């Protein structure tokens, strides 16, 4: 009798497990097609700002997907810099934001601005991700190790180790001119950035 | 034992409910045979775009007012990688329509940039030299009304005599061969 009870319980649990697993797989099947990992609604901002307009932008050196390293101060006196931090590769909003910038090079050129993209992912992940964008014209940098150190310096490291979705405009003198720590769930409109770049000309 | 069977079926019902409801959006994407809800768009400022659509003045117009028998609507997003990749082929589709005297003027194309500002749509238009009118859907209202489809998404509609729009074709994702896609559209529309 006891043996029979165990068998029934086993069948019951197994059936539930199979059905629930099927439910998860079915829900995700469409997204798997594009390899983009769907993320639920996240806390809009999960860090304490450390930088404000007028501050000197902290210098950093990070490895780039294309090889070599990029240092922020290498642009000093030459170009304005726009830093786009995105939370993580292969996530929905981020997987759109950079492809948009990728076709807006003329806008950045118009304001003599160098775009720099940074995520806390490692280089191989960033490589695979940016490659499927058809390669990007701007340096994509990895703030992977020490993990999120630059994001932390810029006050945008979230408690789960990703970064905020943030934009920093830094002028040729290395001064922060615009900070947009955006709701992580939303894409910042290009218009806001253009407005800020326009101000640099004045 | 009866109790156990009851629990089993209750659990089964819950799992089936999860299974069937998982991917459902607030509005369903249009399917062939549907009547597409009226979509209102701003009259473009560009005279060439006005001439193409056959609309005049300022303000807004609806898709049924476009001077055509068939309208191909591309739901796109300037930021979407697949839409960028597809853009040259969509342009080829436009060129193919223009080259065929039986289709030119009867089939018109428009694009709707979901979540895009006018500036973002303009960047897309300029980058790919898109020859047909593009409209921003900044607040996602058209996107929501059309079932929040993944982009790019194509909807072929026929403009009926009473101004209603019959959906005769929908397609998620890109098409490999513009000429072949046009053939499909023409056949399905009954032009």
What is the predicted pLDDT for the residue at B36? 94
At residue A163, does pLDDT exceed 70?
yes
Q: Is A17 touching B (CB cutoff 8 A)?
A: no
Q: Quote the pTM value.
A: 0.82
Say how far apart CA B123 and CA A100 lie, in whole Å: 9
Chain B residue numbers with beta carbons less than 8 Å from the beta carbon of A106 are 126
Spatial distance between the Cα atoms of B106 and B160, rounded to a whole number of angstroms: 13
Select the more confidently predicted residue: B57 or B18: B57
Render pLDDT for B155-190 as a digit per residue (tens, 0 to 9). Answer: 999 999 999 999 999 999 999 899 999 999 999 999
Please answer whether residues B74 and B90 qualify as being in contact, where contact means their C-beta atoms are separated by less than 8 angstroms: yes
Whether B15 sits inside 8 A of A97 (CB atoms) is: no
Residue A7 has pLDDT above 70, yes or no: no
pLDDT at A35: 79
Closest CA to A100 of A143, A137, A155: A137
**Unique residue bearing structure tokens 């490999």:** B176
Kindly report, residue by residue over A45-103, the tens digit of the pLDDT: 999 999 999 999 999 999 999 999 999 999 999 999 999 999 999 987 767 899 999 99
Task: Look at residue B1 in the predicted model and tell me its pLDDT.
Answer: 52
* Domains of chain B, each with CATH number or no CATH: 27-189 (3.40.30.10)
Contacts of A53 (CB under 8 A, 6+ apart): A176, A177, A178, A179
How far, in Å, CA of A121 to CA of A144, rounded?
5
Tally of CB atoms within 10 A around B53: 22
Nearest to A23 among B18, B119, B120 (CB): B18
In angstroms, what is the C-alpha Rg of chain A?
22
User: Is the confidence at residue B16, as pLDDT, over 60?
Assistant: no
ipTM score over 0.90, yes or no? no
pLDDT of residue A93: 78
For the residues of A99-154, what is the DSSP string, one character each? Answer: HHHHT-HHHHHHTTEEEEEEESS-HHHHHHHHHTTT--SS-EEE-TTTTTHHHHHT
Say yes or no for a CB contact (<8 Å) between A134 and B11: no
The reply to whether A123 touches chain B by the CB within 8 Å rule is: no
Contact call for A12 and B77, based on CB within 8 A: no
């Amino acid at each position: 009798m006891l043996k029979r009870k165990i068998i029934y319980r086993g069948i019951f649990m197994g059936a539930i497990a199979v059905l629930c697993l099927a439910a998860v797989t079915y829900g995700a099947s469409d997204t798997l097609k594009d390899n983009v990992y769907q993320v639920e609604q996240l806390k809009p901002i999960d860090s304490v700002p450390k930088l404000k307009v007028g501050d000197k932008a902290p210098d950093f050196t990070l490895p780039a997907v294309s090889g070599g390293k990029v240092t922020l101060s290498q642009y000093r006196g030459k170009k304005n810099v726009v830093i786009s931090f995105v939370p993580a590769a292969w996530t929905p909003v981020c997987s759109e934001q950079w492809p948009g910038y990728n076709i807006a090079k003329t806008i950045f050129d118009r304001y003599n601005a160098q775009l720099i993209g940074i995520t806390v992912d490692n280089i191989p992940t960033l490589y695979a991700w940016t490659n499927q964008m058809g390669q990007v014209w701007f340096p994509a940098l990895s703030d992977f190790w020490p993990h999120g150190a630059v994001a932390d310096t810029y006050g945008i490291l979230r408690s789960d180790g990703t970064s905020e979705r943030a934009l920093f405009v830094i002028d040729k003198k290395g001064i922060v001119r615009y900070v947009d720590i955006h709701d992580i769930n939303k894409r910042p409109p290009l218009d806001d950035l253009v407005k800020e770049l326009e101000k640099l000309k004045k | 034992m009866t109790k156990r069977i009851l629990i089993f079926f209750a659990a089964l019902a819950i799992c089936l409910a999860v299974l069937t409801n998982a991917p459902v959006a607030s509005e369903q994407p249009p399917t062939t045979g549907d009547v597409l809800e009226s979509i209102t768009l701003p009259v473009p400022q560009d005279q060439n775009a006005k001439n193409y659509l056959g609309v005049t003045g300022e303000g807004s117009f609806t898709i049924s007012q476009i001077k055509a028998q068939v309208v191909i609507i591309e739901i796109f997003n300037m930021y979407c990688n697949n839409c960028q990749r597809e853009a040259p082929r969509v342009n080829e589709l436009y060129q193919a329509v223009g080259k065929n005297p039986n289709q030119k003027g009867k089939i018109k194309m428009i694009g709707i940039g979901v979540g895009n500002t006018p500036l973002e749509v303009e960047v897309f238009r300029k980058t790919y030299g898109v020859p047909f009118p593009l409209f921003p859907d900044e607040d996602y209202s058209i996107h929501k009304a059309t079932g929040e489809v993944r982009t790019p998404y194509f909807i072929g509609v026929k403009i009926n005599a009473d101004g209603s729009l019959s959906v005769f074709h929908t397609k998620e994702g890109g098409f490999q061969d513009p000429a072949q896609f046009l053939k499909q559209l023409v056949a399905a529309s009954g032009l």
